[in-house]
Amino acid sequence: MSAALCTALLALTACGGGAAQKSEGKSADGYPVTVASCGKEATVQAPPQRAVSLDQGSTEILLSLGLADRMAGTGTWTDPVLKNLEKENAKVERLADRYPSLEKVLSKEPDFVSASFLYTVGKGGVADRTKFTELGVPVYVSPTDCAGKDNDGGGDGKRVKTLTMDTVYGEVRDLAKVFGVEKRGEKLIADLKSRVTQATKDIKASDATLLYWFANSDAPYMAGCCGGPGIITRELGAKNVFDDTREEWPQINWETVADRDPDVLVIGDLTRKSQSAESAKAKIKFLESNPATKNLTAVKKKRYVLLSGQAMNPTIRTVDGIEQVAAGLRKFGLAK
């Protein structure tokens, strides 16, 4: 553990012989390891033993890599953890459902911090990542939130380049490399690719139009062309009715939605409670009662596909989204 981090923790912990401290001064084979981290670098001197993951997407990758025993805490959750990860997730302390405080994170004596979004380790999130790096804690931010993306214009950013699953696979490889479990990373990637191939086999949905609604009924966040939902749409050969905007999650009024009249509504089923109409149940109730939406083709025919918030983010759960939307299109007779 760095002296700076130990000093910062004096008021919070005994700063004793934690796992991070035990590795100080020792160099494991193949280390140090450096990976790109959204315009910066994250360098670890040895395989992390007390990692803290600050977004659910990042957490589920680490758990999928079998790293629960090397995680000291998690934070920032949108949905329940994946079913197959429940047992491993139960081994790791949840520091907060939303953003844990910097003090709470530091109290776990982390030797590595990961996040899915720049905002999480920026102003308004847990803390700016420079706070961590000044204390000797390397911070990794997923390339899905910065590669080919402009985050300087406010909101959720704009995709300058179209996102693909290769960037998600790149995040898996980065984290596997950091922890020295590269073979596990390649196996996870192979499994994900196999699922995508199976879900999209023989599907032809070029005539189907989709709309992705993440949250908020007052000023709804709909998916633009080129983020996580864009991956789903392109893999299935369908069309996003708002593929004419590169904004990640533009807020679009209901009159414009009515004009686009999608064949299928892909609805975020969130368990958080930070905005209006978070759950799918609340969204459907709104859609079927609001004058501007109740006559939409998808509403009248009840063509709803419900996805977790995580499946709409660019994470390993995007594959769940591909599978579920593909199943919905087949069910609705829109996949020839």
Gap between the Cα atoms of 40 and 34, Å rounded: 10
Mean pLDDT of 184-191: 98
List, for residues 24-56, the tens digit of each pLDDT value: 334 578 899 999 999 999 999 999 999 999 999
* Percent of residues, the chain, with pLDDT higher than 90: 83
Mean pLDDT of 262-284: 88
The answer to which of 15-24, 119-128, 268-277, 306-315 has the lowest mean pLDDT is 15-24
**Closest Cα partner for 142 from 254, 45, 58?**
58
Name, in order, each residue with C-beta under 8 angstroms of 74's C-beta and a sequence gap of 6 or more: 52, 53, 54, 56, 59, 89, 92, 93, 94, 95
Q: Taking 60 as the threshold, does the pLDDT of residue 21 lie above it? A: no
Mean pLDDT of 45-72: 97
pLDDT at residue number 272: 74
Q: Taking 80 as the threshold, does the pLDDT of residue 91 lie above it? A: yes
Fold of 202-331: Rossmann fold (3.40.50)
Q: Taking 70 as the threshold, does the pLDDT of residue 7 lie above it? A: no
Q: In angstroms, what CA-CA distances link 166 with 53, 124, 157, 171, 277?
A: 21, 29, 20, 9, 32
pLDDT at residue number 318: 97
More confident residue, 18 or 302: 302
List, for residues 209-234, the tens digit of each pLDDT value: 999 999 999 989 999 999 999 999 99
Measured at the CA of 311, the angle between CA 310 and CA 315, to 5 degrees, comes to: 75
**Closest Cα partner for 114 from 164, 159, 60, 69?**
60
Q: How confident is the model at residue 277 (pLDDT cuts 50, 70, 90)?
A: confident
Name, in order, each residue with C-beta under 8 angstroms of 310's C-beta and a sequence gap of 6 or more: 56, 57, 60, 78, 79, 317, 320
How many helices (H) and strands (E) would you count in the chain?
14, 14
Q: How confident is the model at residue 5 (pLDDT cuts 50, 70, 90)?
A: low
What would the DSSP string read from start to end of 9-20?
HTTTS---S-HH
| DSSP state, residue 315 | S
Class of domain 3-193: alpha beta
List, for residues 231-256, the tens digit of each pLDDT value: 999 999 999 999 999 999 999 999 99
Helix (H, G, I), strand (E, B) or coil at 174: helix
Tell me how crowded residue 86 is: count the other CB atoms within 10 A of its CB: 11
pLDDT at residue number 27: 52
CB-count burial class (<10 Å; 0-12, 13-18, 19+) for 269:
buried
pLDDT at residue number 326: 97
CB-count burial class (<10 Å; 0-12, 13-18, 19+) for 2:
middle
Residue 270, Ramachandran bin (φ over 0: left; ψ between -120 and 50: alpha; else beta): beta
Mean of the per-residue pLDDT values for the chain?
Answer: 91
Gap between the Cα atoms of 303 and 263, Å rounded: 7
Q: Are 304 and 212 in contact (CB under 8 A)?
A: no
Mean pLDDT of 50-79: 96
Q: Which two tokens stand for residue 124?
A: 């308004």
